[in-house]
Structure 1
């Protein structure tokens, strides 16, 4: 999959050039997400610089790009609107500290529990979200101050320049891979627009559309270095209670998006990132953001795909992107402001094509309808609601599907042995999902005086299974019948309350395995 990847080898030239390409694509995204969060554009640009620099330097996934993201921005809106930007900085600091703790306690490993269909749904959902976000660039502000779709010559030029950008990115690697095709496409389209004086919207036009009328004339992306400042909030327990809910959500959303993006890049590059180290890197970056006036953020799948597709593999690519972005802010804002939006939209459309998991259609055509349902569900929730919600929903539904399917796998074969004892040979897992069916497998009233349950081909997985076995033993005892339990593990035997006296111990044959129960904690 991901056929647009043309180079898997990391080197300085590829990292530097791909980093420059990423820096160009970071600007409109950071500005847009700053407005989503209700803060000034420079706060979004500062976040993109600091997140990108720190996570690339100390994070667990070389080649992954972090910055201000929409998933984080939508969480911040209510806090900024109610309490102001200083409380946002405090919330970002606390979220960063929580992420550091997640890394220290090695919670990043739990991303491995995300099932493959959920991962596919996450990738497809984000591809659709990235595509829909680019459609906003096809709108302009009319005379009444309202956004409307482009028409006429401007629309035709926009579509043509987008197509040209995509064509260059697709065709240039067939001729040479000396420079990233995305960078060549952006430079070429920018030179064409300004050399021929074409009617095309630029980055600064996009910024002006988002500002109030009084600020449009003086709009600029020029700025200065971010400075250290402790958030101006009361140092009270009340402040903690105000920012804590937002911080927890920011922490979880940031880590989920970052770790899933990490897993995606692992698969694309056939390498292995370090999830716990990435948690610490994201946490340090967000903490620094809060002290230096940034809105925080997490991994950006779109910009990460641009970096990977452009040949960026090492830490230098992300560091270069961050430093070039800072250089634009400090010294070369006019250059970044003149880039046509069509060039950046074309780059992002290529990212959408490369990101979308086209192989997922094979799952849809396959026989596993449950996986197809989970894939569609996660994709839809990602587009409609939020990434974190989509992943949580997908994991829960996958777990329920797994439990339901395995609950039907428990069955029994019975026979009468030479001593006229009835032997139940149990097969399949005994856990919370299968206990109801387990209880219906036995004919207590008509069974002979001696009954044997053989667990040689079965396992008890949780305390619900143990309780079901205790209940069954109690029912046989009430009927005046003797129950014999064979091939049960030492761990389960120690947890039985009523049936322990019925267990036949066979040291050579009895299995050893662990039972998930709080009693053992």
Structure 2
């Protein structure tokens, strides 16, 4: 019912209209994240413009929207509070350099190591985070100046406008697809609010609530070039480097996972390494133009894709329209009711959350179900980078545990009387104990051959296990021969020396990682 995925082809018209829709949704997000980071709203708006524009032009995933994000804001807030905004600019500058380096080193391919259950948990967790973030729009300033929940008529009006927005987005495409449903809903609800003179919070009300300034406005100027006003010395590097590493990691993880999600929805393929470089270039630009930096935004990316935006023009349009709002058209965007934007984001939540994952929880292995729930929970409780790290580690440990039990041998005696063990399964740190228990040097004949044709020697623990086994045979005066070892394994063997016989001709060649697909 709530499948918002669109397979519409990219056109100039749809890109322009979807970009306009995204620009409307970017404004309150940029203001909110600037407030979270403890910097002026214009710093967040400039970041949304710069990051969105640079990544749209040079990024590896056309149609994906980037801007100021909460994931980075929560990291920046402590740096800003302790050292000031200039050190934030320095950290963003270094963050960009690290991201460019990651792209140059072609590290983007490693996002493919993220298991599918982790991806499901990531998507579900972000959907929940987006939903919870919208609940803040249902708060107003109370008589004592503190924020309190809406009640009575204001709450009913807000809920009615949110429902009207969601209904428009859901039902309008069934009638016509001439205009993106999200854009039509925002414009329609805004006109209704103005026409009926409804008392409901608008974008400018949100801005003034966040800043505590009754005269605050979205109006501003162009970003101005200026290097961070900090000493360029080792002390500054000591302060900003830890933040820069975390920011770069969080930004790339969120961007590359969003890229993967957009790939699946559009049935196309982005370029992860190119996106890393573009994200880095965007943050380098932010660092010297007084902006807070950013990364890919899953909510706005979903709005763009669902509105038909597929090409680079959609992201470029969103960034330029956002800048136009700041420079000359702030009165137009300031009257948009928050209810319209909340309704759009609620529909994004419904379309982003993988509802099928609830149904399959009882059908997939328990370990996968646990990973899905775990990653979703950690995403909500902490942040995306921690959640993905936890999910990958847990998945890797489960994988290691399962495969550690899959090592076995087939034994036979050849025509020369030697005992031949054909090893099956992966030999790695988790299976070395099982491997050593498969052999009995005291009971075996003088010549023993272990055939690795159907086995994979994976790590240094496996090499040590082979060396230890060779020494056990040597200690009882018997010879151990190893066949069909991979070149990688033979290069690591140090202790076996002359008691190892390797059939070089028949050795297979293993290639674990490749840059061909990155």
8 Å CA contact 1:2, 1:268 repeated in 2: no
8 Å CA contact 2:481, 2:502 repeated in 1: no
Q: Separation in 2 of the partners of 1:515 and 1:476?
A: 31
More divergent stretch after superposition (263-272 vs 102-111): 102-111
Displacement of 1:515 = 8.6
Alignment of 1:93 with 2:93, yes or no, is yes
Displacement of 1:278 = 1.1
2:482 is paired with a residue whose SS is strand
Q: Separation in 1 of the partners of 2:80 and 2:448?
A: 68
Q: Which residue of 2 aligns with 1:62?
A: 62
Alignment of 1:495 with 2:489, yes or no, is no
Q: Which residue of 2 aligns with 1:72?
A: 72
Displacement of 1:504 = 4.0
Q: Which residue of 1 aligns with 2:238?
A: 241
2:361 is paired with a residue whose SS is helix
Alignment of 1:374-453 (within 5 A): 374-417=371-414, 420-453=417-450
Q: Which residue of 1 aligns with 2:516?
A: none
CA shift in 2, pair 1:244/1:506, >3 Å: closer
2:227 is paired with a residue whose SS is coil
CA shift in 2, pair 1:382/1:451, >3 Å: same
Alignment of 1:257 with 2:254, yes or no, is yes
Displacement of 1:332 = 1.5
1:365 is paired with a residue whose SS is coil
Q: Which of 327, 337, 342 does residue 345 from structure 1 map onto?
A: 342
Q: Which residue of 1 aligns with 2:474?
A: 477
Alignment of 1:358 with 2:355, yes or no, is yes
Q: Which residue of 1 aligns with 2:136?
A: 136
Q: Separation in 2 of the partners of 1:329 and 1:515?
A: 50
When normalised by structure 1's length, the TM-score is 0.94
Displacement of 1:211 = 2.2
Q: Which of 369, 375, 380 does residue 372 from structure 1 map onto?
A: 369
8 Å CA contact 2:452, 2:483 repeated in 1: yes
8 Å CA contact 2:484, 2:504 repeated in 1: no
Q: Separation in 1 of the partners of 2:32 and 2:229?
A: 25
Q: Which residue of 2 aligns with 1:82?
A: 82
Displacement of 1:133 = 0.4
Q: Which residue of 1 aligns with 2:275?
A: 278
CA RMSD of aligned residues (A): 1.9
Alignment of 1:290 with 2:290, yes or no, is no
8 Å CA contact 2:86, 2:230 repeated in 1: yes
Q: Which residue of 1 aligns with 2:185?
A: 185
Q: Which residue of 1 aligns with 2:148?
A: 148
8 Å CA contact 2:190, 2:340 repeated in 1: yes
Displacement of 1:100 = 1.4
8 Å CA contact 1:374, 1:397 repeated in 2: yes
Q: Separation in 2 of the partners of 1:258 and 1:451?
A: 53
Displacement of 1:483 = 2.5
Q: Separation in 1 of the partners of 2:203 and 2:27?
A: 8
Displacement of 1:422 = 3.4
Q: Gaps (5+ residues) in structure 1?
A: 517-521
Displacement of 1:388 = 0.8
Displacement of 1:104 = 1.7
Q: Gaps (5+ residues) in structure 2?
A: 514-518
Alignment of 1:314 with 2:311, yes or no, is yes
Q: Separation in 2 of the partners of 1:17 and 1:173?
A: 15
1:427 is paired with a residue whose SS is strand
Q: Which of 226, 241, 244 does residue 229 from structure 1 map onto?
A: 226
Q: Which residue of 2 aligns with 1:519?
A: none
Displacement of 1:263 = 0.9
Q: String of CA shifts for 1:458-490, please: whole Å, max 9, x gaps.
A: 221222212111111111111222333333334
8 Å CA contact 2:7, 2:266 repeated in 1: no
When normalised by structure 2's length, the TM-score is 0.95
